[in-house]
Chain A
């Protein structure tokens, strides 16, 4: 097991803080959980805790960016994308300000806190904002690189991070590129497209499928917006069927984004593995992933269904 993407975020921030003097980090009383405390310790003069006030968190970041700073703001995804949605839209998105919203504890795997704290619509909300880049890293390596890219990029970015440790997917040679899918396995019968914590299970599912005589291409899709349309269309043309996997509602997230590309360019049978238009509940992350159909077995079943539909 590797580490949580939020851990990698804290480390990356600290490293980037030395390289970019204009980085300012803001948090809303969750700096120990979001790991911005790592930056705060290294650069106390450039860290501001705004207290439990997420609307003001986003608005303050907008003002910092308007004055030339590179603000990184963090809180749980529910509050960054949900509670402060309108501030993100109007104070950051509309003026295209250079604010990096690095939201942690996204998805069901925040666990026992239950439905009120499980952001499962945030990708949909954020990608609907014009000009917003939406990144969902799969592991620590990808997170580190995505945070570094965000610091360099001029414009608003939403980076979705998780609470739990996730397996390492990428080696040190991996290079994150915005708007580009990464090919993790080659296959001919279908393509599995995954993001975030579902990338590792997607790879395992592909391995299991070989025992049923099916070869699956596996794509990691770290940027939901801009999405890699070319890779999706190629996958559809090469393999004729697509399964998407995300720890998010099937409405509005990766599955929706891929369906939009396929529908307009290369319609093929498709199945979406994700949360089926329902709220979560309290439980351990693993129990929740099982109950809400986000396991390797669920991906394998979806793959078999979609291949069946090709015939």
Chain B
């Protein structure tokens, strides 16, 4: 099956993604700390989820019937905050308070304070377990809402991920769709060199998941994979999304150093110009 987005929706997603990327760069610059690289790599996936897929209502962020999203790679909080603000969960003006004292926008997502954040994450390896629990709850109650999770490729080095991978397949959680943001880089360098979790698709297949491999910056591919996952019965789906760390800002792309470093104000101006160009 191949599900295509209309040209109008494609244009909308591209516009939203650019706005989200702009906000990521600005908020991390203002915070003087944070994680731009892995936020930019995941931007197209989050924008597709929040603007073309997920059943959420910014005016009723805790609606029990909503779809859920768990950002397991919680250090990519800027992309989640920027996407939620873009979707109307809170004001864009709040984004510049990231990581500052008394802000709701903690360095890693806090479900207790930020509308639209479904799970507190940040300590790597724990988000997929929470997504499992949500999917189980939906199953027990016979609900049709779905659960989405986004994992980092470096995060796959955490053992808990594979405990959770087993559970989701064992309990046939077909209401759960997860992504690996496969940008190939972690703090200390390429994931293949630091502690290789490769090959990624084969591992998830071996654990009993339905696995799709896509370009994580192609909106049609992301959308099609999600729609395909909805039709898969008896298995959770893992969408291994090949991405580029720092995607969208030429001089940040593919550089591990931009995992957890804030741009200077001069760099910020330059990066924003690259984004618009």
Contacts and interface: CB of A to CB of B under 8 A. Distances in A.
A55 B125 contact: yes
B64 interface: yes
Given A46-B140, A59-B126, A60-B133, A68 B64 contact: yes
A55 B136 contact: no
B82 interface: no
A86 interface: yes
B64 A63 contact: no
A67 to B, nearest CB: 4
A94 B134 contact: no
Given A56-B167, A86-B123, A96-B112, A63 B133 contact: yes
Interface in B206-241: none
A96 B137 CA distance: 18
Please classify the interface of chain A as helix (H, G, I), strand (E, B), loop, or mixed, using the class held by over half of its residues: helix
Contact of B133 (A53, A66, A90, A94): A66
B255 to A, nearest CB: 29
B119 interface: yes
A120 B131 CA distance: 32
A60 B119 contact: no
Contacts of B137: 24, 63-64, 67-69
A120 to B, nearest CB: 25
Interface in B114-159: 118-120, 122-123, 125-138, 140, 159
A48 B129 contact: no
B110 A24 contact: no
A50 interface: yes
B123 A90 contact: yes
Interface residues of B, number: 34
Given A51-B167, A68-B64, A56 B136 contact: no
Interface residues of A, number: 29
A91 B136 CA distance: 17
Contact of A67 (B123, B134, B164, B166): B134
B119 A24 contact: no
The residue in A56, A61, A86 that gathers the most chain B C-beta atoms within 10 A of its C-beta is A56
B64 A56 contact: no
Nearest to B132: A60
Contact of A64 (B64, B70, B136): B136
Among A48, A58, A67, A68, chain B packs the most CB atoms within 10 A around the CB of A67
Among A51, A60, A71, A95, max chain B CB count under 10 A is at A60
Interface string A63-91: 11111110100000000000000110011
A213 interface: no
B118 A56 contact: no
Nearest to A87: B126
A91 B129 contact: yes
B76 to A, nearest CB: 16
Most buried by B among A24, A53, A66, A68: A66
B267 interface: no
Interface in A88-115: 90-91, 94-96
Given A86-B123, A90-B123, A96-B112, A66 B129 contact: no
Given A63-B134, A64-B134, 5 more contacts: A51-B163, A55-B160, A59-B133, A60-B164, A63-B119
27 contacts: A24-B136, A24-B140, A48-B171, A51-B163, A51-B167, A53-B167, A55-B125, A55-B126, A56-B164, A56-B166, A56-B167, A59-B129, A59-B132, A60-B129, A60-B164, A60-B167, A61-B133, A63-B133, A66-B118, A67-B64, A68-B137, A87-B129, A90-B123, A90-B126, A91-B120, A95-B110, A95-B112
Interface of B: 64, 68, 70, 110-112, 118-120, 122-123, 125-138, 140, 159-160, 163-164, 166-167, 170-171
